[in-house]
Structure 1
């Protein structure tokens, strides 16, 4: 009699789609308050929405300057248009049904859930190939233990990180693909897609390419995978650059897919195709050729683009010292408190152990090479945590296949025990531990590095000042340029009709330094800088993280004087609604010498 596959195997695509719909609906319901109030808490999410608004309002496809900050010249934003497409598409789709205001709110709520579905599909494909056809629900379940990863898929999180994580998930699926051409194409396309969006995952793209090359070094028969990967990476990156790069990204800069990185990617892809065509028989010879090709590419890059050997942002030493070096997500994991370290590192460690275990189990089977490849990739992701904590979402995502491989052995063993207690409680405990969901409960109960009162005050102040009701009250004032904090600028232009000075975007170092110098210098220095920017008002948020830094670094400076109630006579207070967390003054320039 014919053996019918299990429904979870036969209908896995349908099941996956229904799971995504259910999870997306839950997140929308859970975050409905944020959707209702357009609570884009991160500066990049606010700037992404302004980028979409500007495009839908008629700004050129290749013009990504933000003219509502630092008018009239605007700010140079180094992103591409690629991630704007789904947000804009949702707004246009929903506008006839919900009206312009709610179409936008619903679009930014739904948009982050799209890459979540793409990432879920990739995880399901990976574990079906490497663990078992019925293991894919565990991959979806274990995704809920990836606390940092899930934050990138939450409603309102419309910045590009969610799409890059989806690309990373498909890179893993491509590495696990037994079909060489398809696997090479998926890795090449996902890497090119990620690089077109931004360079945040450039190290992972490079590592994926190195793993594909190592597979060819180990097995000459992998030449087809290497050829397709190299050609796809080079071609798709070139198409991505032509189709989505802004005019500003045609400069020889190091912080985006500019001609600098495009030439490196295209040259690297071409070299890989050439290596696959030569394909010498000896494994040592292939390794030497790969190392020579990599060394030649690195040497040419260093000779042609020496400006990119340091920090890709290319900021001044002063800006790095007072701003960029202090960005929390750019610090290494070991510099964080244990309350932060444990939830981030637990999943990747479990996943890495799982990949080692799965590789050992597959040592005589057909999945040994893909499991070895994913072990290398996961180990690399764990190592990246000790460089920058922003690697946490990627490391947690890459941990899922290894954690599922462990669970696929542990859970059947527990379920086969005679004791009901072991079967039920043991299985639940194993799922919570292997998925790393348990660590969240443990950290909440342990008294380790509890947030202090200052941290709570800072978080509360930033949240209240950025709220839609607080900022919308400013719209009673005719549109003007408001001099405000760097981190409040993007939110100001989303929520009001006023313009701001700058946002935390490194290409605009002069404007960022102007804001810091204005708040940290003497009062007359502030007035000179504010007039140069055409600011009519000063808007502040007491106890915001940025303002506490001004006070700590410059006692007696302009902002510190404001905080102590020492307001210059040329600042006239403007009344705001009772209970407003903001402070507003009109700036009087009378009596100042002409600039």
Structure 2
């Protein structure tokens, strides 16, 4: 790319990914972290700096006894510290980490823009590359995860997705493995270290590359071998670095462990040893039979040894919290039945699948035929996962933008060819404008950026006229002398979604945090607030030595606790002002409601 186009791409990124989203969001403080995960991630990084305990995944001032257990891994923490490092001479460590975390998603969106441009360079003319930036900008799920302040590893996973696809596109174009397969495998291994959510990309890519070997034979075996071995090597290195030595052979299903090492070992063995046997009699039937038999053996072994691999991260979750919390989180919901969300998240991918099908089976760009096979498989698998789980729409959108870039260019070429001359100039201009601005028009028509995937808090803010509870103001109140001057740690029952922010902004302990490994505290918070027998609530207050109950009745999660047929629950009684014996109201910034539990608080 020329310097001029790089500069234009940067300006488009600045406008479409930073300035416009901040303006649309209506945030009063642009440099504040946003969302529970952002605050918990920053607290986790601060604890790492303070203690230096690499292997401790607990937040002591959260959850039940022993603290809240997090399934996150360290690469994201180290990247935040790397961004914060240049700021340390100019500000306090905690402030530098917060600022680094807040700007990190913007840096990831910048990296995503340029990696997507790099990925499609072999497929598009340079003059049309900026169309890719426009398509990225109107993907609502991408905008949601790369917004300023959202300190989240999903933006990093989107960047890694673009990097893997860029390597594989070059691999497909050259027809030689070179270093591209190794790079794609190493990046995939790193993605699995960051989060097992990267299986959303790794699994269909592995299947897609294998399909290329089935159809075209020997020249794809080396590419598959290099990709599989590089993924395995980086995954093993990740386990050695991330996991304590005594836990190396313990299987976990929500973070990198020996279970995932076994998963990536299976294709490495096949491509490193077994697939070469097929080259003696290189027929499609032999390759298909060998791959099918080996795949069946691997699936059988997994079902017998590590069956929870089929369940995934939820295997580590307490099944009691599914119906009361996990199933109500918007990011975990399916797209089925939500036509607007399906259009916004899947229409571009559907168009890319059809276009890639023409390339694969027709005469359009025959040099891209092999690439189209694995690309279609990745699009179909990622699309199916997105329909079942909204969060997977992030990776689907990245793949769809890269796959649809050449489609948009071909449409422009067609328009330029068919609408020439002064008589057709106006029509041609309108057609070209429609092609270029089409993604924007569709996005706004369906309600993309303003009405795309939102957090539960954002939904509540738009659907209710009641004032939103300001956590920062309440945290300042809890930092006053009457609270912060206490010698012992004060313990609070709280709304689940705001627990991480209170932990970050105060020195107190908060029972509920929205992370699936903390089933006891989530379930007991629900049980405590929904119990109609106050003795049950009292027993739980005593169990956790609770001093205060802090609630925001305007929060959207109130639907978890308040049922129309359950007006005698503790939650409903507190909201109505009917306080049980032993609980008294304490002044708090409106609309927060704070209650003292006398048995534990003098």
TM-score (norm. length: structure 1): 0.88
Determine the structure 2 residue equivalent to 1:175: 168
Q: How far did 1:485 drift?
A: 1.9
Contact residue 342 and residue 387 of structure 2 kept, 8 A: no
Determine the structure 1 residue equivalent to 2:241: 243
- Aligned with residue 439 of structure 1, among 438, 442, 445: 442
Determine the structure 1 residue equivalent to 2:596: 586
Whole-Å Cα distance in 2 between the matches of residues 591 and 370 of structure 1? 66
Q: Does 1:223 align with 2:221?
A: yes
Whole-Å Cα distance in 2 between the matches of residues 18 and 551 of structure 1? 51
Any idea what the Cα deviations from partners look like across 1:410-433, whole Å, max 9, x if unmatched? Answer: 223334533343233322221222
Determine the structure 1 residue equivalent to 2:428: 423
Whole-Å Cα distance in 2 between the matches of residues 581 and 249 of structure 1? 48
- What secondary structure does 2:122 align onto? helix
Q: Does 1:549 align with 2:560?
A: yes
Any idea what the Cα deviations from partners look like across 1:549-570, whole Å, max 9, x if unmatched? Answer: 2112744211011122211232
Contact residue 461 and residue 543 of structure 1 kept, 8 A: no
Determine the structure 1 residue equivalent to 2:500: 490
Whole-Å Cα distance in 2 between the matches of residues 329 and 590 of structure 1? 37
What value does the CA root-mean-square deviation take over the aligned residues? 3.1
Greater Cα offset, 162-171 or 424-433: 424-433
Whole-Å Cα distance in 2 between the matches of residues 444 and 117 of structure 1? 24
Contact residue 123 and residue 169 of structure 1 kept, 8 A: yes
Determine the structure 2 residue equivalent to 1:565: 577
- What secondary structure does 2:75 align onto? coil
- Aligned with residue 198 of structure 2, among 184, 201, 212: 201
Q: How far did 1:495 drift?
A: 2.2
Whole-Å Cα distance in 2 between the matches of residues 316 and 80 of structure 1? 20
Contact residue 255 and residue 313 of structure 1 kept, 8 A: yes
Whole-Å Cα distance in 2 between the matches of residues 483 and 307 of structure 1? 33
- What secondary structure does 1:572 align onto? strand
Whole-Å Cα distance in 2 between the matches of residues 585 and 331 of structure 1? 33
Any idea what the Cα deviations from partners look like across 1:116-156, whole Å, max 9, x if unmatched? Answer: 23322332233222334544322222211212112211211
- What secondary structure does 2:68 align onto? coil
Whole-Å Cα distance in 1 between the matches of residues 49 and 592 of structure 2? 31
Contact residue 458 and residue 545 of structure 1 kept, 8 A: no
Whole-Å Cα distance in 2 between the matches of residues 509 and 249 of structure 1? 24
Contact residue 536 and residue 586 of structure 1 kept, 8 A: yes
CA 1:88 to 1:464, structure 2 compared with 1: closer, same or farther past 3 Å? farther
CA 1:147 to 1:17, structure 2 compared with 1: closer, same or farther past 3 Å? same
Determine the structure 2 residue equivalent to 1:254: 253
Determine the structure 2 residue equivalent to 1:520: 530
Determine the structure 1 residue equivalent to 2:271: 272
CA 1:420 to 1:156, structure 2 compared with 1: closer, same or farther past 3 Å? same
Whole-Å Cα distance in 2 between the matches of residues 164 and 574 of structure 1? 44
Whole-Å Cα distance in 1 between the matches of residues 555 and 587 of structure 2? 20
TM-score (norm. length: structure 2): 0.87
Q: How far did 1:238 drift?
A: 0.7
- What secondary structure does 2:197 align onto? coil
Spell out the pairing of 1:25-40 with structure 2 (5 A cutoff): 27-29=17-19, 31=22, 36=29, 39-40=32-33
Whole-Å Cα distance in 2 between the matches of residues 408 and 558 of structure 1? 60
Contact residue 35 and residue 109 of structure 1 kept, 8 A: no
Whole-Å Cα distance in 2 between the matches of residues 459 and 240 of structure 1? 44
Q: How far did 1:192 drift?
A: 0.9
